[in-house]
Amino acid sequence: MSLLHHALSIVAADEDGSLSENRNLLSSPSSASSPNSPPAPLRSPPPHPAESSTLHFNPWLGQQPPSLPISIDTLGLPTLSPLGAKELAKLFDEQKDTLKLLPALLHLLQLHALLSAKRYDLLFITGSRLISTNFLKSFDFAAFVEGILNQVATPKLAKFLERLLNKDATNAAAGGTSGGRTPESQPPPGANLSRLQAAALTILNILYNCDTLPSALSAILPRFFHSFTDEIDHTLNDMLTNPSYTPATSYSTPVQDVKAKAEFILGQLQRIRSHSKGAGEPHMAGDVNRFQQMLSQHQKL
């Protein structure tokens, strides 16, 4: 099966995420039994009412788009199930030299899969390389991809990061009082570190591996990265000083736990740095150095 047919078969996954082995995207069941009948038109599943990952934007912001074989002023792709998005993203991960081999449609399908799977760091890394390469000369494909990243991907990333940053406050508002968190609603010291470090590492992967940062992304990342840096610092300090903190094991102490957590995050940062395809400093190098220095101080306790 070709890459295109494999990818399209994943897009046609059932609503529950199962993939139909016998589904043929090029013909309906009736046309399969009647070879002379014309193929039925493809139908995309309706978007989920709560939140849709459909790419729908105007990359030229009101300007007249260039004449193309297909209309790209509005792009509607079907909503992917979680399993379908994961399988499709995995399919692209296994390809070699995709920038040279994949047509524009499959590049857009790849971005759609990464967006649906909430793999935001890989979404921006892949998109930035498409922008810097601009391998299609028949029209400004780089501007088209940049429109996706600015108008669709960045707002979703901002919402994702905001939710991680304010999760404690949201939970407290639901179970506490209007004056703030109550002792019962406040999470144990260190409980929020996993999601904070996951968000920070997502941002760091973008900063180290994106060829360029889209304008909308450049506008929001400093604020979020500063906030996550401060929250991680506060959480590690709280693990040290809060008497209600429970060590990870019966043999460890708060100091040992803090040093281990800081060392783990620094190790992940080193992995990102060692796998970086960029030759120079990361974007926002000063903020990255501040983040690393904060963790180094906790590691040297």
Q: What is the pLDDT of residues 80-131, one digit of tens each?
A: 677 767 776 776 677 655 555 456 778 888 898 899 899 999 999 999 998 8
Place of tokens 């590492």: 201
pTM: 0.67
In the chain, where the domains are located = 3-117, 188-299
Residue 199 tokens read as 């968000």
Q: Supply the pLDDT for residue 279.
A: 57
Q: What is the pLDDT of residues 166-220, one digit of tens each?
A: 875 444 444 444 344 445 557 788 889 999 999 999 999 999 999 999 999 999 9
Q: What is the pLDDT of residues 5-22, one digit of tens each?
A: 555 555 444 334 333 333
Distance CA 166, CA 245 (A): 21
**pLDDT > 70 fraction of the chain, expressed in percent and rounded:** 60
Residue 158 tokens read as 């901002």
For helices 285-299 and 254-274, what crossing angle results, to 10°?
150
Distance CA 121, CA 203 (A): 7
Q: What is the CA 189 to chain-centroid distance, rounded?
A: 28
Distance CA 11, CA 116 (A): 11
User: Hey, is 19 helix, strand or coil?
Assistant: coil
Query: With 50 as the cut, is the pLDDT of residue 136 above it?
Result: yes
Q: Supply the pLDDT for residue 63.
A: 46
Distance CA 273, CA 297 (A): 20
